[in-house]
Structure 1
Amino acid sequence: MTGAGRFAKGRLAAVLLAALMLGACAGFGGSLSCEANPPGSSELARFHQALENLSTGKRPRAVTILHLGDSHIASDRLAGDLAEFFQTRFGDGGRGLFPPGIPFEYYARRGFSFTASPGWERENSLRPEADGPFGLAGLSAQSASRTEWMRLDAAEGKGFSSVIVDVWASPESGALRIALDGRTGARIETGGQGFQRIELSGGNARRVELSPAGDGPVRLLGWGAAPGKSGVTYESHGIPGATLGVMEKWEESAVAAELRLLQPDLVILGYGTNEGFDDALDVAAYERRLDARLAWFKALLPEASFTVIGAIDGARGAGCAPPNLAPLRAAQKRAAEKAGAFFFDGAAAMGGDCSIRDWAKAEPPLAFGDHVHLTDEGARLLAEKIYAALTAAYDAQLCRAQKSLF
């Protein structure tokens, strides 16, 4: 090949690479931005490096996002939209683990359906009298009866390459039967002490069914299935009414084990609404609690990036936000900055103080009449803003690389 031919071939490769990057340069919503240091450039650098390695084929395993919070993600509105945005762009790496069974009435995860018999003893770490232990989901289910069962079904095209079940074992624990697509279930012993993870090959099954073998109690902390594809895994756990303090009820050894196995590249904390509506809240004590929790996560996950979502706007009665909501949000921002975490101001993204009332009056409504929770349309709009903020620095880096080719 002549020198001119080699140059033309190299130029063509550069043009093709630039074309692949063009979507990144457009950004979310189509606006070009090659800003040198957009917000999140340093705080999210490890997460963005993981995305780059995934996109260029240097990373064989999925990039994992763990999102913990309250009712704003419990119904899978906000988290489900974020999962969709990341997985549409970077590939569907699944939704990770779910709480066992049906933890509360409107629990949902897109692409999956859950059914369970009524006899399980369900525990919620939010309740003062809750009987633990609890893992990352903050919820558990226990039974010793072989007549009890729970079932997880995946939508078309979401078969499982592997099935995972997390249990809390004791010397009295019984065995567990795990059946795939209705076949005769494998019997798994769960006796022992403390956290245990069971992992089986899924063989591209679309249904998983669990039931105690009947020889002792089985306590389930979480379960789920992996699709066997590269991409982004978006695992989310939300409990209606939860505050950051709910984590203090979780069993640290179980949570630490789950975190080390999950190895999230990005951890998102989405608490604050319920604290902000507490007129007796000690904001300084809350900030210290958040400082300590972020430090705990960072010690366990030194290679991860972290994001704190500042509490979204809310209103009570005829007024606007309750008095502690703005001070709490300021405390969240300070704690994030001290920890080197990225802070996203949920209220500012909505339009600031009293914006929740405008969202409720919008057509179609973006918020419900309780002036706390978002509708499907409102959650998607806020998710778009969060996704854009989480990927702005990544997109700017790709955009600058694309421009340098010309």
Structure 2
Amino acid sequence: MSGKNKSAYPFYIIIGTLGCLVGLSQLNYRLSYKDFQFRKLDLLSDLRTDSASTNNQKLTAAGKGNSKLSGLDSSTGAANPHVANPDHAHDFMSYTGIMEYPSPVPGDSSAGMQHFFNALRELKTGKRRKVRIAYFGDSMIEGDLITGDLRDSLQHFFGGAGVGFVPVTSVVASFRTTITHTFSTDWKDYHYKNSPPSNITLGLSGHTFYPGGNSWVKYSPVKKPLLDKFQDISLLYGPVASGTVTINDKAYTLSGSETVNRLDLEQDTAQPSLMLRYSGGAMPFYGVCFENGNGVYVDNYSFRGISGVELGHLSAEMVRRMQQKRPYDLVVMHYGANVLFRPELTDYSWYERPMKKVMDSLRNDLPGTSFLIIGTADKSYRKADKYITAPGVPALLQVQHDLAASHGTAYWNLYAAMGGDCSMVKWVEGDTVMANKDYTHFNRTGAAKVGALLYKAIMNEYRLAQP
């Protein structure tokens, strides 16, 4: 043969071998001496998409993100309320929507977020004037971070204008951008951390303020949409036989024996700011509320350095009176940063026990009010040569989720919404910096994103809860 014909031998051998393999693959029998079976050869198996396999993958993906009630993909961040069906299809550690739980009390209309969503519907249809949210948290929300963006979004959709509750003094007044707030230095601030006398009742913010010799506080609106003027103003104060306060050069006599008393004012448009002076004797003040028209109001109750168990020090009578004077339809509990003080700690039973008592008390003192527990944000710490999620984060999320489930409240996992494992590293080191170098706290950009994520989760749930 010529060299050309010899060069074709390898090709003939390959073709012959493939032919034998294809022929053998058509045999469908089992050898008797071994548990072995020929199966048909599929030369395109790596390229062909098996329909059954594809369908199974789609069902699996859908099952991870769908509620048995809603049938919506989790990528939307929405979950139909689970109040009617406690058999959840969601993994609370990875789900980014709001999860709702049935109340342990039969017929409780505040289970999950039912009451809050009903209130929003009534607001939309003109059956009520205002819907209020009390947002409790630590330094993650101080300076109106997160709450300011949430408030703005809700007010643009549902109506309302105004910053809501503002305390008499604040350590972050100069940092806050939703109101201009200045005050004299002679106010005495009793709060969670300085062991107030037993005869002093702390306000809902965890503070009660007593004036000094010539105390004053000034509030001014800022040049931002929905925050540029004061209209409906309420001064909240404690029990007093008689006292005189001067507000924008007009004297008002204050009196009241209740734990929480309220003086309502209508702002003079010629005086955009509010200047309050008090030079009388001892009298407890809590703060001032700013609202403008019908709509949604979000009150920021931040307190630096606390874990949430401190709310157990609030007087039941004060909480009930506050609800009478300024009723809330939703209470948000946003804590975690100060619980994770030891990153590798994973036993949070010491935290769960007092928090159960806090939730029991608040649910009892605020009947008919919806509650939303927000799971901790991601927190990273340096181990070896890199930052990783603290082992305590998943453990604390479990405790927070269980508190929501056992008390019939709603739950939102901020850690999952951020992106889950090591997401804080990305928020700190990404192209758009959204958190500080402590790998714990958000900056303004990050806080705005969290506010937007929470607003989206609330609105998705609200729409799904429509009757």
Higher relative contact order (CA 8 A, sep 6+): 1
Q: Distance in 1 between matches of 2:346 and 2:283?
A: 38
Alpha-carbon distance change, 243 to 317 in structure 1, aligned in 2, over 3 angstroms: same
Q: Does 1:164 align with 2:234?
A: yes
Q: Quick one: which of 336, 340, 347 aligns to 1:276?
A: 340
Is the contact between residue 101 and residue 151 of structure 1 (CA under 8 Å) also seen in structure 2? no
Q: Distance in 1 between matches of 2:458 and 2:291?
A: 24
- The corresponding residue for 1:210 is 276
Structure 2 gap ranges (5+)? 1-71, 83-96, 101-110
Query: How big is the shift at 1:226?
Result: 2.2
Aligned-residue CA RMSD (Å): 2.9
Q: Does 1:315 align with 2:384?
A: no
- The corresponding residue for 1:243 is 307
- The corresponding residue for 1:178 is 247
- The corresponding residue for 2:298 is 234
Is the contact between residue 239 and residue 256 of structure 2 (CA under 8 Å) also seen in structure 1? yes
- The corresponding residue for 1:45 is 114
- The corresponding residue for 1:299 is 364
1:358-386 residue CA offsets vs partner (Å, 9 max, x unmatched): 11001220111010111222112222221
Q: Does 1:289 align with 2:354?
A: yes
- The corresponding residue for 2:33 is none
Q: Distance in 2 between matches of 1:269 and 1:224?
A: 20
Alpha-carbon distance change, 105 to 164 in structure 1, aligned in 2, over 3 angstroms: closer
Quick one: which amino acid aligns to residue 168 of structure 1?
A: G
1:268-305 residue CA offsets vs partner (Å, 9 max, x unmatched): 00012101224779622322222222222222222221
Q: Distance in 2 between matches of 1:249 and 1:394?
A: 33
Alpha-carbon distance change, 370 to 78 in structure 1, aligned in 2, over 3 angstroms: same
Alpha-carbon distance change, 346 to 296 in structure 1, aligned in 2, over 3 angstroms: same
Alpha-carbon distance change, 363 to 119 in structure 1, aligned in 2, over 3 angstroms: same
Query: How big is the shift at 1:54?
Result: 1.3
Local SS of the residue matching 2:170: coil
Quick one: which amino acid aligns to residue 114 of structure 1?
A: H
1:121-145 residue CA offsets vs partner (Å, 9 max, x unmatched): 23342x2445553211112332232
- The corresponding residue for 1:133 is 201
TM-score, normalised to structure 1's length?
A: 0.79
1:330-374 residue CA offsets vs partner (Å, 9 max, x unmatched): 111001011111111111111223211111001220111010111
Q: Distance in 1 between matches of 2:260 and 2:127?
A: 33
Structure 1 gap ranges (5+)? 1-26, 402-406
Q: Distance in 2 between matches of 1:107 and 1:137?
A: 18
Local SS of the residue matching 1:274: coil
Query: How big is the shift at 1:93?
Result: 4.5
Local SS of the residue matching 2:204: coil
Quick one: which amino acid aligns to residue 208 of structure 2?
A: S
TM-score, normalised to structure 2's length?
A: 0.70
Is the contact between residue 34 and residue 397 of structure 1 (CA under 8 Å) also seen in structure 2? no
- The corresponding residue for 2:154 is 86
Q: Quick one: which of 133, 140, 143 aligns to 1:75?
A: 143
Q: Distance in 2 between matches of 1:396 and 1:345?
A: 19
